[in-house]
Copies of this chain bind each other. A is one copy, B any other.
């Protein structure tokens, strides 16, 4: 995520939490900032390292609790295949999300195609399965890396 996107994400988070009556505390705000400032998905312990560099006290529950709040609010996503977190690029609407993970540069883009989501719900329903939420992580080459050599 770019620096200006990061500032925009923080501003959006402020507004959303204000509107929802939830508390974006200093710690939660800082964790969101760390996640959004990272160009690539970042792990919980890497976030913790940054917090400690800040001079804060900190242990794993510190960061996991903040991340739980941010996940609930839809401000960050967790990538199950990487055990890492990224900022949501459009948090106003809660969504499962589909993620494009570049195997060359490590960047992650968010897709959020309703066609894909609905197609999955329908395909599941066709075999009697009632889909509630879905996790879609796509590995490949991003536009910038697409034509690079192996």
Contacts and interface: CB of A to CB of B under 8 A. Distances in A.
Interface of A: 80-81, 98, 100, 102-103, 109, 111, 113, 115-116, 119-120, 123-124, 127-143, 146
Q: Determine which residue in A80, A116, A120 has the highest number of CB atoms from chain B within 10 A of its CB, and name it.
A: A120
B119 A100 contact: no
A135 B128 CA distance: 21
Count of chain copies: 2
Given A80-B81, A81-B80, A119-B115, A127 B139 contact: no
A84 to B, nearest CB: 12
Contacts of A135: 80-81, 135-139
A140 B131 contact: yes
Contacts of A81: 80, 135
